[in-house]
Amino acid sequence: MAGFAVVGLVLGWLLRPVSVAVNGTAPTVSWLPAVTLLFVALIVGWLAWSTFRTVHRRRGHLEPHHAVNRLVLAKACTLGGALVAGAYAGYAISWVGLTEALLARERMLHAALAALAGAALVVGALLLERACRTRRDDR
- 62: Cβ contacts below 8 Å, ≥ 6 apart: 51, 54, 55, 70, 132
Cα 22 from Cα 24, distance rounded (Å) = 6
This prediction's pTM: 0.87
- 112: Cβ contacts below 8 Å, ≥ 6 apart: 88, 89, 92
**If you write DSSP's letter for every residue of 44-106 in order, what string do you get?**
HHHHHHHHHIIIIIS-----HHHHHHHHHHHHHHHHHHHHHHHHHHHHHHHTTT-TTSTTHHH
Per-residue pLDDT tens for 56-72?
A: 877 777 788 888 999 99
Per-residue pLDDT of the chain (139 residues; tens, 9 = 90+): 889 999 999 999 998 889 888 988 888 888 999 999 999 999 999 999 999 998 887 777 778 888 899 999 999 999 999 999 999 999 999 888 876 766 888 888 999 999 999 999 999 999 999 988 876 665 5
Cα 126 from Cα 48, distance rounded (Å) = 9
Q: What is the DSSP letter of 116?
A: H
